[in-house]
Amino acid sequence: MTGKTLAVVLLLVLVAAIMLSPGTGCDVITRTGAGPQPDLSLVNEVWDIIHEDYVEPERLDADTLTRGAVRGMVDALDDPYSSYLEPEAYEASVSDLEGKFEGIGAYVGYRDGRIVIIAPIPDSPADRAGIRPGDVILGVDGETTMDMSLMDAVFRIRGPRGTSVILLVLHEGDTDPVDIEIIRAEIELESVLLEMKGDIAHVTVTNFTERTSSELATALQDMERQDAGGIVLDLRGNPGGMLTAVIEVASRFLEEGVVLFVVDNEGNREETSVRRMGPVVELPMVVLVNGFSASGSEVLAGALQDHDRAVVAGETTFGKGSVNVLHRLSDGSGVYLTVARWYTPDGRVIEGEGIEPDFPLDPEQEDLLEWALAYLRGDG
């Protein structure tokens, strides 16, 4: 993977096209003849039996059967972040991180065998319909999600603007699910939001897209003009996105050093370091996270924490630390595949563990933003 752009699939981020969102900013790779060659005699045997004996031969379509076999291989991995994409889904996923998409506007992930909402995009159809972080999606248009992969669910939920989708949703803390109808729309996502709280800049990064670095640069210039004395970097509900964008954001706050380590399927360890992006911001900083800060946001929080550049406050993060790559297949379809794991600069694993905050805070008991402002002003 040296020299290639690694990214999250956070299928999470793909869902921004419901979204999602692992994920995507993944590499788009075409491969031929890689890896050990399998004995395909059994596959050929079944292929011949089907074409010779199946009762409705007019229904047999070579492309459909081939794609079914490919889907079966990927499903056999039993990895929620590895998925087969039909050509239409592949094309949609490639364009997801341009910052504009059609869907309901929510990030989704996979937790404890269930498809859950990481966060609705503010003022999106999902947000206005009452979708909340932590919601479990039990069904889509009357079809259970029990046996769906994350990507299957995503591409059933997303769709053209003006069309509707009905989700069977179990809100966090409730016992009875409810049907929620959502009218899809075109959603243009702004990934960086700035609000001055007196002399403290509250910078929210909603996810990491192709535009995040330039949006952050603009926000930092605005902060400087307004004489900011500190920064609250808010990553709550951030599902991740493009790793290149994560590195560029980290490089705005770190003078030098490793941002993360990537360990591949052969145990090879590769470091990704700070890239010079212009003047480094040295203002005191608090990073806010919660249980729905995932993937790229965990990489960023972990890097700033390990380098003692910022304190991290809030809840333990989601724990999605796998690297996913999008492979383009010869027929226009694609495969998302988990290819590596991420580790923080100090070697902490993210997958399944998440980032532990320096200051654990219960958002039901305390206003995290107010806590961060008080901490930076010396009132905490």
Catalytic residue annotation: 295, 306, 320
Cβ neighbours of 219 (radius 10 Å): 20
Encode burial over 49-83: b for 16+ CB neighbours within 10 A, e otherwise.
eeeeeeeeeeeeeeeeeebeeebeebeeeebbbbb
Residue indicated by tokens 């608090």: 286
Cα 154 to chain centroid distance, Å, stands at 12
The pair of three-digit structure tokens given for residue 61, joined into one six-digit string: 């379509």
200 and 232 Cβ atoms separated by less than 8 Å: yes
DSSP bridge pairs for 309: none
Could you give the CA distance from residue 94 to residue 99 in angstroms, rounded to a whole number? Answer: 12
The pair of three-digit structure tokens given for residue 133, joined into one six-digit string: 């972080």
Could you give the CA distance from residue 165 to residue 140 in angstroms, rounded to a whole number? Answer: 7
Which letter does DSSP use for residue 102 in this model?
Answer: E
Interstrand relation of 322-328 and 28-29 (parallel, antiparallel or unpaired) = parallel
Cα 4 to chain centroid distance, Å, stands at 19
